[in-house]
Amino acid sequence: MQLEIRGLTKRFGTFTANDHIDLTIEPGEIHCLLGENGAGKSTLMNMLYGLLDPDEGQVLLDGKPAKFATPGDAIEAGIGMVHQHFMLVPVFTVAENIMLGREQTRGLGVLNRASAAALVRELSDKYKLAVDPASLVQDLPVGVQQRVEILKALANNAEVLILDEPTAVLTPQEIDELMSIMDSLRNNGTSIVFITHKLREVKAIGDKITVIRRGKVVGTTEPTASEPDLAEMMVGRGVKLVVDKDEPEVGDVALDVKNLTVIGTRGTTVVRNVSFDVRAGEILGIAGVQGNGQTELVKALLGLVRPASGQIQLEGRTISRHGPRQVLEEGIGYIPEDRSHDGFVSSFSVRENLVLDLYKHDEFSRGLALNQQAMTTNAQQRIEEFDIRTQSMNSSVSALSGGNQQKVVVARELSRRLKVLIASQPTRGVDVGSIEFIHQRIVAERDKGTAVVIVSTELDEIFALSDRIAVMYDGRIVDIVSPDILRDEIGLLMAGGDAKGAAAPEERSGSGATAAGTAGFDEETAKNA
């Protein structure tokens, strides 16, 4: 099926998210949509999938105009979408999630769970995407959740499959695997729209690349284009792909974690016997696929959850039993992974958010009374210093772009003298300009002699910033390595393997099996046709 987009436009108030976008996706083509965060890729795809109504323009399927008022229409027309934020109901089982919307029933609307489970098994055999139909989605690791999401789209016999930032939650090996799945789908005539902001992936799998910047198509190119060229197209200017930093001047141990174990809300052990230390003036990167205990480790460091056992020491003093306030007072700064969830109060003004954890300091309050003047002065300084783009210090943070919201958090945390800075996903969902800025500030903080811990699922970020890299898998720190390790080796560590190659054979057999699955897919499509 050929999919053509003509002049699609979407405005939100005065902001034009998509400005007359033209795009043609040929059958059996992997068409990459490249653009940085906020460029309008997801908006475009949401219009294509019937989630948003376009203000202008039209969609053509095999040359005939089509209108998708609802996702139901899009599914009907053979469009499937794997969403960046999985569209799975966490408390449902895999089978329930896959059957939702196209339920098998025994008549009278009574669910036929057995046949739903059978369908899941059949699909997962066919595409070699192993899932257990009976397990609850919320208990599955994100990688498996993504398989469920892909199966869901395939169950609807999608001819055009949209993959929205599918690699963000995967290990490098899982990404390879995903690519081989995409490859086999392509060979069967399924067109794939692959949305990403990662240049490497685009070059590895794409047949055609369309770059979007600020809601406009800036150009279509071939995967042979060089990475710096692609980056420049994407951002609109030359981008430094590496962060400038000198050799660290390492001091004494600032943060020392010994045998830390944390038990999660569901009673399972999520951090297992973790030990590491960070010295003043160095950056320790914690790499790992999302959901391997990093979140809980950081929460324990901050005193947000009480560790079941183990010790946390800050410059020799034990802080394992401190609450968050005491931890912050001890001189630990914290940039949380989900800023809108934990980092700021979205209805509060920029000015208020800039003192969210500082308002009790003498500078900002006397007794019960807040010092309004000091808060205002502080806000003026930070907005200036961190180049926070906001209409005024009194506008609420929810009105800011992701990058500027993150700058508010970073500005607040760096505005006091720190011994340790813990930054989780410091640049997630942030535009390239802000990424560069935030990275520079973090390195500058290191150079001031602060010990820095960066937790990131983005290997690029880990490599760009870290002086040492700790890899987490299944709640453990598998290894602590130097940043000159090969990307593949760290990928194996992230998958729980050992860098010397123990897990490699299994991976091979995995991709082999996928190739075998292609034959089955052939038969199936033949039958359907």
Partner 1 sequence: MSTVTSLRTPDATDTVRDPAEMQRRVKLTVTLLLVSAIIFYFWWTIDDEQVFYLLSGERTRDTVPGEISTHPVTLTCGIVVLVAAVAAALGLMRHGATTLISMLVVGLAFLLCFVVWAYSDLDVAFKPWITNPLPGTFAVATPLVLGALAGCLCERAGVINVAIEGQFLAGAFFASVVASLTYSAGAGLLGGIIAGIGISAMLALFSIRYLVNQVVLGVVLVVFAQGLTNFLLDQIPNDATIKAYLNEPPKLQDIAIPGLSDIPLIGEAMFDQTILVYLMYAAVVFVTFVMFETRWGLRVRAVGEHPKAADTVGIKVRRIRWQAVLLAGVFAGLGGAYYTVGSTGSFDKNASSGNGFIALAAVIMGRWHPLWATFAALFFGLMSSLRNQLSLVDKIPSELLTMTPYLATVVAVAGFVGRVRPPAADGEPYVKS
Partner 2 sequence: MPDEEQPRDNKAGAATKTKPRPEPETDRPSSGPASWLPSIKVTVASIVLALLVGAVLILVSDRQVIESFRYFFSYPWDAFRNSGQAIGESYSSLVSGSVGSWSAISATLERAAPLICAGLAVTLAFRAGLFNIGAQGQLIVGAVCAGYVGFHYDLPPVVHVLTALLAGLAGGAVWGGVIGVLKARTGAHEVITTIMLNYVAAALLTYLLTKESFQQPGSNNPRSEKVDATATFPSIFGVHSGIVLALLAAVGVWWLLERSTVGFELRAVGANADAGRTAGMSVAKVYTTAMIVAGLLAGLAGTQQVLGHQDSLTASFGGSIGFDAITVALLGRATPLGTVLAGLLFGALSTGGLAMQAGAASTPLALTQVLQALIVLFVAAPALVKAVFRFRESDNGGAVMAKGWNS
Which residues here bind partner 1, judged by CB under 8 A? 46, 49, 51-52, 70-73, 75-76, 81, 83, 86-92, 96-97, 99-103, 105, 108-111, 130, 139, 141, 143-144, 147, 152, 171, 173-174, 177, 261, 263, 267-270, 272, 289, 291-292, 306, 308-309, 474, 495-497, 503, 506, 510
Can residue 501 be called a binding residue for partner 2 (CB under 8 A)?
Answer: no
Can residue 347 be called a binding residue for partner 2 (CB under 8 A)?
Answer: yes
The answer to whether 369 touches 380, Cβ cutoff 8 Å, is: no
- Smallest distance from partner 2 to CB 394, Å: 4
Whichever of 302 and 418 has its CB closer to partner 1, that residue is 302
For residue 366, give the 3-state DSSP assignment: strand
Query: 103 touches which of partner 2, partner 1, none (CB within 5 to 8 A by kind)?
Result: partner 1
521, 47, 51, 35 alpha-carbon torsion, rounded to 10°: 80
Q: Which stretch binds partner 2 (CB under 8 A): 323-331, 383-391, 433-441, 499-507?
A: 323-331
Query: 302 touches which of partner 2, partner 1, none (CB within 5 to 8 A by kind)?
Result: partner 2
- Smallest distance from partner 2 to CB 412, Å: 9
For residue 95, give the nearest of 57, 51, 133, 135 by alpha carbon: 133
Whichever of 46 and 514 has its CB closer to partner 2, that residue is 46
CA distance 353 to 415: 13
Can residue 40 be called a binding residue for partner 2 (CB under 8 A)?
Answer: yes
Whichever of 334 and 473 has its CB closer to partner 2, that residue is 334
Q: Which stretch binds partner 2 (CB under 8 A): 19-27, 221-229, 270-278, 346-354?
A: 346-354
- Smallest distance from partner 2 to CB 492, Å: 25
- Smallest distance from partner 1 to CB 74, Å: 8
Whichever of 231 and 494 has its CB closer to partner 1, that residue is 494
Tokens representing 496 are 């729980």
Query: 71 touches which of partner 1, partner 2, none (CB within 5 to 8 A by kind)?
Result: partner 1
Q: Which of 31, 41, 152, 446 binds partner 2 (CB under 8 A)?
A: 41
C-alpha 74, offset from chain centre: 26
Q: What is the CA radius of gyration of the chain?
A: 24
Whichever of 92 and 359 has its CB closer to partner 1, that residue is 92
Draw the binding track, 160-199, toward partner 2 (x: CB under 8 A; -: no contact).
-----x---x------------------------------
- Smallest distance from partner 1 to CB 273, Å: 9
Whichever of 129 and 499 has its CB closer to partner 2, that residue is 129
The answer to whether 441 touches 244, Cβ cutoff 8 Å, is: no
Q: Which of 273, 401, 511, 525 binds partner 2 (CB under 8 A)?
A: 401
Strand order in the sheet with 30-34: 79-82, 160-164, 191-196, 30-34, 208-213, 216-221
Burial of residue 422 (CB within 10 Å: 0-12, 13-18, 19+) is buried
Q: How far is CA 423 from CA 14, 191, 301, 343, 481, in A?
A: 34, 39, 12, 11, 19
Q: How far is CA 320 from CA 256, 301, 304, 317, 385, in A?
A: 11, 7, 11, 9, 34
Query: 282 touches which of partner 2, partner 1, none (CB within 5 to 8 A by kind)?
Result: none
- Smallest distance from partner 2 to CB 111, Å: 23
- Smallest distance from partner 2 to CB 503, Å: 26
CA distance 472 to 127: 29
Beta strands 253-263 and 309-314 are: antiparallel
Site for partner 2 in 116-145 (CB under 8 A): 138, 142, 145
CA distance 351 to 416: 16
Whichever of 161 and 420 has its CB closer to partner 1, that residue is 161
Beta strands 56-61 and 3-12 are: antiparallel
Burial of residue 224 (CB within 10 Å: 0-12, 13-18, 19+) is exposed
Can residue 382 be called a binding residue for partner 2 (CB under 8 A)?
Answer: no
Whichever of 58 and 70 has its CB closer to partner 1, that residue is 70
For residue 526, give the nearest of 185, 192, 188, 78 by alpha carbon: 188
Q: Which of 71, 104, 236, 359 binds partner 2 (CB under 8 A)?
A: 359
Query: 84 touches which of partner 2, partner 1, none (CB within 5 to 8 A by kind)?
Result: partner 2
> Bridge-partner residues for 272, per DSSP?
none
CA distance 52 to 454: 36
- Smallest distance from partner 1 to CB 175, Å: 11
Cβ neighbours for 195, distance < 8 A, ≥ 6 positions apart: 32, 33, 41, 42, 45, 84, 162, 163, 164, 165
- Smallest distance from partner 2 to CB 488, Å: 27
- Smallest distance from partner 2 to CB 344, Å: 6
Q: Which residues of 338-371 are buried (b: 16+ CB within 10 A; e: fewer)?
A: ebbeebbeeebbbbbbbbbbbeeeeebbeeeeeb
- Smallest distance from partner 1 to CB 71, Å: 5
What does the DSSP 8-state code read for residue 442? Answer: H
- Residues in contact with partner 2 by CB under 8 A are 12, 15, 17, 37-43, 46, 83-88, 90, 138, 142, 145, 165, 169, 302, 304, 323-325, 327-329, 334, 336, 338, 340-349, 352, 356-357, 359-360, 365, 368-370, 372, 394, 396, 398, 401-402, 428-429
